[in-house]
Each structure stands twice: as C-alpha cells, then as structure tokens.
Structure 1
Amino acid sequence: MSSDVAQLKNPLAEIWSENLLTKAKHIKLVALDVDGVMSDGKIYFSAKGDELKGFNILDGLGLKQIMAAGITVAVITGRSSPLTEKRMQDLGISHLMQGREDKKIALEELAITLDIPPKAIAYMGDDLPDLPAIRYAGLGVTVPNGYWLVQEHADYCTQVNGGNGAVRELCDLLLTAGGHLGAALAPYLEP
C-alpha cells in the first residue's frame, strides 16, 4: 500500500469517539432498514400504480467494500418490494428479510442463524419499528431525518440523511475502525 493511502483519513473520523470506534471495530454483521435509510423514505407511485424508489449509488459501493472486508450485510424491512429485492440481488446481499415489522425478532433469528452475538451486530434504522433492533445491536445507528426517539437511543446518528449516503458513512466508519479503509480505497488511487 502506498504511503498516500496509508495516510488517508476520513474527515468524519474527527467526530467519531473512541467508544464508537471500539464498538465499530468488532462488527461482523450490518443489518439495514430500507425506507428512510437506504432510500430517502419516500415511495413514489406511477399513474399505473407502479412503485418507484431511489437508492444511492454511494451506499452500494460502501456495502460492497464492507462485504469485501468480511462483514456480512443483511436487510430487514417492514415492506415487501420487488425493487428492494432487485437492488439487493445487484449488490450481492443474500440476507433479505421483507415484510418483517418485528425487526428485533428478525435480527435475533439472523444472529442465531449466523452465530453472531449482538455486540458484533450493527443495525441502522430510522423509525419506531427499528428501535428494538437498534437497542438490541451492539452498535445502533440512525439518520438525521429519523424519528427523534430513535436518535436518542442510537449510538451514532450519521451526518447525512437516509438515502443520501448515510449507509456509506456507516461503511466508512466500519472500515476505519477495522483498519480496512486504506485497502478499500487503494485500488482507486493507483497510478
């Protein structure tokens, strides 16, 4: 790795506490809500009734980077959507749990299946159905456009809103804490 890459430091690292970085260092599973986290929380319908939803491409690359660093990614959402299924397939995310309002129970099931303790799980959500999962996980994360009570209970609230790169911010936090940021960025800085 070149010295340029070794010296890279995400500017957000200035606001990340040692406690937050310690929690993030041990994460083996990231579970995400969709609406309000991976998207801006708005659902659009065409005149024909087709559902439309936007996903941020920054988040997608970040998720691929943490998966390459050995972190498992899962999605737990209360709604069922073919668009979500397609996006997760495109990203190579095989742990997709749709139609699950009981997100903590879904997360517990996944933790048992994957044999991952709660302290090694990060959960990112934005509204009340996410709150039990955020409180269960070793690292609870939310977004500034999330519900206030969720923000009160989360370990970290991203600087950017859901659907605008918030998931990428979490990915950078995990890569930084685990010492993988330089390796994730190195291919893009080669001469």
Structure 2
Amino acid sequence: MDLQLLQRARDIRLAVFDVDGVLTDGRLYFLTDGSEFKTFNTLDGHGIKMLIASGVQTAIISGRSTPVVERRARNLGVHHLYQGREDKLVVLDQILSETGLAREQVAYLGDDLPDLPVMRRVGLGMAVANAAPFVRSHAHGVTQARGGEGAAREFCELIMQAQGTLEAALAAYL
C-alpha cells in the first residue's frame, strides 16, 4: 500500500463520490419513455456502508440528476447528496460550511474533468483506474479497479486501513 496515500487518508472525515464513471461504469441507459437506469456494484455499496459505520461521513456530488441516485444514496445511508450540480467545488465548500470540516479532511473519488477542481483541493483526491488520463495524472492516487467495478470499495478500504478501522470491520464477518 502506498504510504503517502495512507498518510493522506489518516485524517479523512468525509468521503465524496462522483456517480457516473465512479459508482457506475459510466454508461448511460435511456429507455424509450425517456427514463434512465444505472447499474451499481454491491461491493462498492457495502464498502460505503462500512466506511459510514467506521465514523466517516459520505457525500455524492453529481452533475446529472436522477431518482435512481437518490434511492441508492438513501439505501446506503449517504449523508449528503447533491445532484444536477456542475460546479462541484461550490458544492464542496457548501458541505464544508455545513459540517465545519477542512478541505484536508476530505477525500474525493472521481473520473473526469468536472471532478478535477475538487480532487486537487482536498486531502486525498483519487481517480478510478479508467478515469480520463489527464485526471489520473493529477490525482494523488489511482484505484486498481475501474469505476463501477469495485473502485469505490477500494477507496473506502484504503481510508479505513489508514484509520485502523478496516481489520475490525472485516473481522466482524468471521
């Protein structure tokens, strides 16, 4: 495990996720009636639940808006949900104002250019393995897993490992 990433993850109190390309594989599915659906990875979902149980707050910031994401966030217990928000840095500042946290206490997982302003200004800014190359080159770290295929779980476990909570969370299942 990268020691620099673990050091950055040690003081994280809020983990923020993009949706399309991070919690999903990035493909958009539209039905003939105009509605859309998304597929989410259950491993990612359980990772988010474990991270919340370890005491870290969570947020989703998405440029798109859909009821499916609202339902997924509610099912996982995500603390802060912002959809249809193109300027993610403005949203981050709003969350920080509400929570009293500092940017250094935030981790962000993204995949594309709209995520980059936040990724570059938080304590731990990571990209998924299949993120845009420019985004990967400016991230503190890159997951081994692709978006929608376990990247969020890897991100959550990294934070928990750095904070000493992962082992106990896993042991609960033995």
Aligned to 1:83: 68
Q: How does 1:1-191 map to 2 (within 5 A)?
A: 16-189=1-174
* Superposition deviation, residue 112 in structure 1: 1.6
CA distance in 1, matches of 2:46, 2:2: 25
CA contact (8 A) 2:107 2:124 kept: yes
Structure 1 gaps, min length 5? 1-15
CA contact (8 A) 2:57 2:79 kept: no
Runs of at least 4 residues of structure 1 off by over 3 A?
A: none
Q: Percent identity?
A: 48
Aligned residues: 174
CA contact (8 A) 2:28 2:36 kept: yes
Q: Work out which of the two has the higher radius of gyration on C-alpha atoms and give 1 or 2.
A: 1
Structure 2 gaps, min length 5? none
Instruction: Provide the TM-score with structure 1 as the length reference.
Output: 0.89
CA distance in 1, matches of 2:39, 2:91: 24
